[in-house]
Amino acid sequence: MSTDVTVETLGGERMKLNMGPHHPATHGVLRLMVETDGEIVAKAVPDHGFLHRSIEKIGECVEWPMFVPYTDRIDYVCAMNANLAYCVAVEKLLNTDPATAVQVPLRAECIRIIVAELNRISSHLVAVGAMSMDLGAYTPFLHGIAQRETVNDIFEKLCGQRLTYNFVTIGGVAFDLHKGAEAEITAFLDAFEKEMIRFNKLITANTIFRDRCAGVAAISAADAVAYGLVGPNLRGSGVDWDIRRDEPYGIYDRLAVRVPVGQGFAGRNGRVGDCYDRFVVRLLEINESVRLVREALKMLPAPVEKKTDATGGYQADVAKQLRKPPKGEVRVRTEAPRGEMGYVIVSDGSKTPYRVRCRTGSFTACSIFQKLMRGIFMADIVTVIGSFDIVVPEIDR
Amino acid sequence: MVDPGIARPGNDPDEQVLVTTVDEFLAWGKENSLFYLLFATACCGIELMQTGGPRYDVDRLGMIPRATPRQADLMIVAGTITHKMASRVRTLWEQMTEPRWVVSMGSCANSGGPFSKWSYSVLNGVDKYIPVDVYIPGCPPRPEALIDGVMALRERVRKYRTLGMRDRDPHVVQGGDCAFGSHPGRDGACGPSSAAPGALAMSRGDESPRTPQSGKPAQVNGGPA
Amino acid sequence: MSTALAFAAIAEQVKSAHPSVEARESDNRQPWLLVPAADLPAVARLLRDAPALRFDSLADLTGWDLAKFPATPPSTDIAVAYYLHSLAHRHHLTLKVMAPRDAAQVPSVSGVWAVANYFEREVYDLLGVAFTGHPNLKRIMCPDDWIGHPLRKDYVYPQAYNGIAHLRDGQHFEDAPPRVGDPPPAPAAAAPAKPPVKSA
């Protein structure tokens, strides 16, 4: 909410407040050192590292396939996408040398899209649910969690885990779809679309919620690019960029990815790139993901007995290549729910990576906090944090 | 016993009087109102959230999340604790009012989990900083496993005596108000080896039998480890 | 309408303005530009502002220690890599700056791309590269009093932090990374010493 009262026009004493690392609205263990001038934030300096688990160092200690479970823990809200990013990167490294080239079976590629987009749905549900919960609306969060449980059930049947899947592997996926999975997923999507209409009536169209977010912390497109915002946060500022469409990996190039961008959805008080735009872009992306899952289900080739089959198999054999991968480096960008998940992988030709670097969306999103939170109201801090959908292990790794 | 079917339960005058001790009554109340601190660091936090969600609904056990440690009885350490975070966890635990309980949820909080060997920054077990009552294995534990752990904790809470002898080591109380005596030999007793937080250092050579690590935690059957 | 430039064309433009810049290739034929540390701010500004280049986004900034990377002759540098991307033209570029390990210093580009502020703090924290001209060069992941830079190849893990031991009582891992004050270094050093004895 814009205001004529600024830090400069008001004098007086400043109060220092410490928000976090334990605070329910910081989505984990983010710490903000806030300096307020009355109700207005004069300064908010983020402090990170409370969940720095040295995952990048672990990448240098373990063998290539052993790192996949750690990618789950980089972003556990969308572990499938995190798995996928690393596996796509290693496959790209293997493909830089024809001797170690790997051909991921088509069925595996389709399954990857299905699980990644389903996970995107469940991740965005947590994001929008948690943001509305931060703003005092507890019920939408419960609706989101209820739908997420169904996705978790599907994943659990698929790979035995509810949260950290370790499902996408280098060269394919760990298991084929279980019997009846297609019908289950379709049934979920049908029910889910109806549920989303209710969800939108409940919170998205809610005047109180919309006015609370409208015009808060609007980011211009130029700022969004300069501060390295990615994913829905970037698109919320009206920048039309989605890696799935513009630099496709896997078989995204065969799917029609439509990219919703922010356009000041909040109406009269709204501005392009405000908190409400970021919120709505996520909801629109959920609809897109539903469509992509349906498209991928249609493309799914019939399964065959042989698991390495180029069409109906689900896992290429890469064990031999991974003992002696090509020497060199690659960089891959993928579109995770929290924006670009990019890997820089350096290989010295041995069975362990030389360097694994994971670039995540939440880390760079935090770099704009200090600029963004100057001059906003105290109560809007949680709105801003919620609208960025940060996940702390993604910041700290 | 009243013959079932004759009167509605509780209507018989005999049933409206229940003789118990004050301690048991208080323990019964505590057991059924375990307010937990909304404290999550990593992956387990999502499962904790979903346990509070509509399907698993821990509210029915009287468990309501509290955002401030001063209103919480139970701290569920959900997620990895790093060296940088550990002293903050200790502060949070100190801010909780007595009696307080700690559930360590997931492999990371139990022992460092997948990070114990190769990580330089992860603490191998939150019990190096605060005493833990129940350990729940799993990475992350399923909500069912968490509820199972809470049920195991409720057994302990039921044994807690507010006025009589304490189940827990009194040394955990800061400021020396251990008026009710200590019973280190009791089954399941645990507490840090020393009262002062500065003296909490437990090096590898510390053979004290009453370090939190070597306490006997309640055994819980969890989900997949 | 594609205005994206190939690597060779970008390299040509940069080299015409800064002859000290070299085009290189990694072992698996990924092209990059080697920029001398002193020229980095000027090159960065050129890349961002030249109308045909317009690298408006710094997609990633990272680094790695080359101490154990198999190369002849062995390198003593830390590679700092800048991954640039142009949303306007949709093309990419990788820059690298080599900083010597014992005195790693690179000029900061946080004035060119705002996000570099965070990336550089991370590289400083984990690899110990000092970015000169950075507005707030402090550790970002590790605590301020942490010793050493963890992603360096010769990093030795701490035994304890804040008086609390890292490992549990009696815990021991086979082939775990070295820790400060570990007793095993002697046998570990003896094992690799054997083959030369045999060959001699």
Backbone φ, ψ for residue B205 (5° rounding) = -85, 0
Does A48 contact chain B (CB < 8 Å)?
A: no
Non-local (6+) Cβ contacts of C199 within 8 A are: none
What does the pLDDT look like over B100-149, one tens digit per residue? 889 999 888 888 888 888 888 888 888 888 888 888 988 888 889 999 99
3-class SS of residue C10: helix
**Whole-number pLDDT of residue B214:** 38
Cα R_g (chain A), whole angstroms? 21
Of B50, B69, B114, the CB nearest to A149: B50
- Decide if A54 touches C, using CB distance below 8 A: yes
Comparing C-alpha atoms, which of A318, A241, A359, A373 is closest to residue A63?
A318
Terminal CA-CA length for chain C: 67
Which distant-in-sequence residues (6+ apart) come within 8 Å of B61 by Cβ?
A: B32, B34, B147, B150, B154
Q: How far apart are CA A226 and CA A234, in angstroms?
A: 10
Q: Give the domain extent around B146.
A: 21-195+207-219
Largest CA distance in chain B: 68
Cβ separation of B84 and A52 shorter than 8 Å? yes
Rounded (10°) angle between helices B43-51 and B143-159: 70
CA distance A267 to chain C (A): 28
| Closest residue by Cα to residue A22 from C29, B67, B212 | B67
Q: Which CATH number covers residue B31?
A: 3.40.50.12280
**Residue contact C165–B200, C-beta within 8 A:** no
What is residue A119's predicted lDDT score, i.e. its pLDDT? 92
CA-wise closest residue to C155 among A10, A57, A328, A114:
A57
H/E segment holding residue A119: helix A106-134
Place of tokens 């480890």: B225
* Residue B204, pLDDT above cutoff 80: no
Cβ pairs B/C, distance under 8 A? 60
Q: State the Cα–Cα distance between residues C65 and C100, nearest whole angstrom.
A: 10
Topology annotation, domain A7-395: Cytochrome-c3 Hydrogenase; chain B (1.10.645)
Contact C141 A57 (CB under 8 A): no
- Contact between A50 and B40 using a beta-carbon 8 Å cutoff: no
Q: Tokens 């920054």 sit at which residue?
A: B121
CATH code of domain C7-155: 3.30.460.80
* A263: number of Cβ within 10 Å: 13
Local confidence pLDDT in tens for the 397 residues of chain A: 556 776 666 666 788 888 878 877 777 788 888 888 888 888 888 888 888 888 888 988 888 989 999 998 888 888 899 999 999 999 999 988 888 888 889 889 999 999 999 999 999 998 888 888 888 888 888 888 888 889 988 998 888 888 888 899 998 888 888 888 889 999 999 999 988 888 888 888 888 888 888 888 888 888 888 898 998 999 988 888 889 888 888 888 888 888 888 888 877 887 888 888 889 999 999 999 999 999 999 988 888 888 788 788 888 888 888 888 888 889 999 999 988 888 999 998 888 999 999 998 888 888 888 888 888 888 888 888 888 888 888 888 8
Q: Which helix (H) or strand (E) holds B65?
A: strand B65-66
Contact A163 B67 (CB under 8 A): no
Give Cα separations from B215 to B135, B169, B180, B188, B209 (angstroms).
11, 11, 21, 7, 8
Name the one residue in this structure whose structure tokens are 């263990």. A29
The runs of H, that is alpha helices, within A300-360 are: 319-323
Do the chains contact at A57 and B119, CB–CB below 8 Å?
yes
What per-residue confidence (pLDDT) applies to A11? Answer: 63
* N- to C-terminal Cα separation, chain A: 33
Query: Residue A233 and residue C61: Cα distance in Å, rounded?
Result: 20
Q: In what order do the strands lie in the sheet with A31-37?
A: A15-19, A31-37, A40-47
Is B2 a member of any domain? Answer: no
Q: Are A325 and A346 a contacting pair, CB within 8 Å? A: no
Looking at residue A204, the DSSP 8-state letter turns out to be I
- A239 contacts in chain C (CB < 8 Å): 87
**How many distinct structural domains can be found in chain B?**
1
What pLDDT tens digit does each residue of chain C (200 aa) get?
567 778 888 888 888 888 888 888 888 888 888 889 888 888 898 888 888 888 888 989 999 988 888 877 888 888 999 999 988 888 888 999 998 988 888 999 988 888 999 999 999 988 889 998 888 888 888 888 888 888 888 888 888 888 888 888 777 787 777 777 766 555 444 444 444 444 43
State how far the Cα of B74 lies from the Cα of C111, in Å rounded to an integer. Answer: 47
- Which residues, at least 6 apart from B77, have a Cβ–Cβ distance to it below 8 Å? B39, B41, B89, B102, B103, B104, B105, B109, B126, B130, B132
- Rounded to whole angstroms, how far apart are CA atoms A381 and A364? 17
Asked if B84 lies within 8 A of A49 by C-beta distance, the reply is yes
Q: How far apart, in Å, are the Cα atoms of A379 and each of A25, A107, A135, A214, C81?
A: 11, 48, 9, 14, 39
Sequence-separated contacts (24+) of A357-360 with Cβ below 8 Å: A357/A56, A357/C60, A357/C62, A357/C64, A358/A55, A358/A56, A358/A71, A358/A74, A358/A85, A358/A86, A358/A397, A359/C59, A359/C60, A359/C62, A360/A74, A360/A75, A360/A336, A360/A394, A360/A395, A360/A397
Is there a contact between B84 and A392 if contact means CB atoms under 8 Å apart?
Answer: no
Closest partner CB to A359 (pick from C57, C60, C94): C60
Q: Grade residue B197 by pLDDT with cuts at 50, 70 and 90.
A: very low
Judging contacts by C-beta atoms under 8 Å, the chain C residues touching residue B114 are none
Would you kindly state where each structural domain of chain C is located, as residue ranges? 7-155
Quote the CA–CA distance of C97 and C85 in Å, as a whole number.
17
CB nearest to A51's CB, from B49, B82, B224: B82
Domain boundaries, chain A: 7-395
With contacts defined as CB-CB under 8 Å, which chain A residues touch B53? 142, 145-146, 148-149
DSSP per-residue codes, A69-115 = HHHHHHSGGGHHHHHHHHHHHHHHHHHTSGGG-----HHHHHHHHHH
Give the closest-approach CA distance of B17 to chain A in angstroms: 40
Residue B121 is nearest to which of C142, C164, C173, comparing CB atoms?
C142
Give the distance, in angstroms, between the CA of residue C85 and the centroid of all CA atoms in the same chain.
18
CB contact under 8 A, A328 and C83: no
Instruction: Give the residue among C150, C149, C119 at the shortest CA–CA distance from C136.
Output: C119
Would you call A50 an interface residue with chain B, using a CB distance cutoff of 8 Å? Answer: yes
What's the farthest any 2 CA atoms get from each other in chain A? 75
Q: Specify the pLDDT at position C193.
A: 44
Give the whole-angstrom CA distance, residue A92 versus residue A109.
14
CB contact under 8 A, C165 and B125: no
**How many C-beta atoms lie closer than 10 Å to residue C26's C-beta?**
17
Take residue A234 and report the two structure tokens written for it. 């970037």
Q: How many CB atoms are located within 10 Å of the residue A356 CB?
A: 26
Q: If you count DSSP H runs as helices and E runs as strands, how many of each does chain C have, helices first? A: 4, 9
Are C31 and C7 within 8 A, CB to CB? Answer: yes
Torsion on CA atoms B170, B175, B176, B178, rounded to nearest 10: -40
DSSP string over A232-272: HHHHHTT----HHHHS--TTGGGS---------TTGGG--T
Per the CB < 8 A criterion, the answer to whether A44 and A373 are in contact is: yes
Neighbours of C8 (CB within 10 A): 10
**Spatial contact of A141 and A129, defined as CB atoms under 8 Å apart:** yes
Structure tokens at A144: 């989101």
Task: Tokens 């928000």: give the residue.
Answer: A19
Tokens of A53: 């688990």
- Comparing CB atoms, the residue among B54, B69, B88 nearest residue A142 is B54
**Cross-strand bridge partners of residue C60:** C83
Could you tell me if C171 lies within 8 Å of chain B, comparing CB atoms? yes
The pairing of beta strand B36-37 with beta strand B74-78: parallel
Is A62 within 8 Å of chain B by CB? yes
CB-based contact A226 C57, cutoff 8 Å? yes
User: For B114-141, b where at least 16 C-beta lie within 10 A, e where not — what string?
Assistant: bbbbbbbbbbbbbbbbbbbbbbbbbbbb
Residue from the list C30, C118, C177 with its beta carbon closest to the beta carbon of A329: C30
Distance CA C35, CA A223 (A): 26
Looking at residue B4, its pLDDT comes to 55
- List the beta strands (DSSP E) in chain A: 15-19, 31-37, 40-47, 168-169, 172-173, 328-336, 339-347, 355-359
Name B179's Cβ contacts closer than 8 Å, sequence gap at least 6. Answer: B170
Contact at 8 Å (CB) between B125 and B110?
yes
Chain B residue with CA closest to C178: the answer is B118
Q: What ipTM was reported for this prediction?
A: 0.85
Nearest CA in chain A to B144: A162
- Name the pLDDT band for B3 (thresholds 50, 70, 90): low
Each residue of B17-51: pLDDT tens digit?
Answer: 788 888 888 888 888 888 988 888 888 888 888 88
DSSP assignments along C108-159, one per residue: --TTTSTTHHHHHHHHHHHH--EEET-TT---SSS-TT--S-TTSTT--B-S
Of residues B43, B45, B85, nearest to A164 (C-beta) = B43
Residues with Cβ within 8 Å of residue C23, at least 6 apart in sequence: C7, C8, C11, C15, C31, C32, C33, C34
Dihedrals phi, psi of A235, to nearest 5 degrees: -65, -30
Calculate the dihedral angle through the C-alpha atoms of C16, C17, C19, C23, rounding to the nearest 10 degrees: -70
Tell how strand C77-85 and strand C57-65 pair up.
antiparallel
